[in-house]
Structure 1
């Protein structure tokens, strides 16, 4: 499932961040912000127009992400064992 498909206030866990090119700056930045495998995430809120941006909580930190950025984060519902 993509982060953009996650219902609000539902916890999930990062599986991976998709790279669209060999040196993908956006994917690298998402990982630097904490979107790494096994990290707990949830969508806290969404903007009023087209649900953009998404307010996403990773661990104890919140970020505003555009839907195109959030769509690169793949999730799983269960933590990695």
Structure 2
């Protein structure tokens, strides 16, 4: 499954980053490597770009970049704890 196929609130783990070489390198430099767990936080009003939260960070990327990232969707029961911590991070960034 591709990251671009997920919906807001979905949680997943990266299985591979197969984007264009320069984009791939940049994403990996930002910590999006195999095994990274993240949550899809929201989409822009027209559906592009997408915002994800991972490792205490927020990242916005274009859908064409998200197409090159293969993920494994995580089960629903694992989501609740992560959703609360992601919301706290978002509130923290809004204040600062």
TM-score (normalised: structure 2): 0.71
The structure carrying a bigger strand percent of its residues is 1
1:19 Cα offset (Å): 4.2
1:35/1:73 contact within 8 Å kept? no
Number of the residue aligned with 1:59: 55
Of the candidates 18, 22, 25, which is equivalent to residue 22 of structure 2? Answer: 25
With CA pairs under 8 Å and 6+ residues apart, which has the higher RCO, 1 or 2? Answer: 1
1:41 Cα offset (Å): 1.3
List alignment gaps of at least 5 residues for structure 1. Answer: none
SS in 2 for 1:35: coil
CA distance in structure 2 between the partners assigned to 1:69 and 1:63 by the alignment: 12
Tell which structure's C-alpha radius of gyration is larger.
Answer: 2
Supply the RMSD in Å over aligned alpha carbons: 1.3
List alignment gaps of at least 5 residues for structure 2. Answer: 75-96
Aligned pair count?
74
Number of the residue aligned with 1:13: 13
The structure carrying a bigger helix percent of its residues is 2
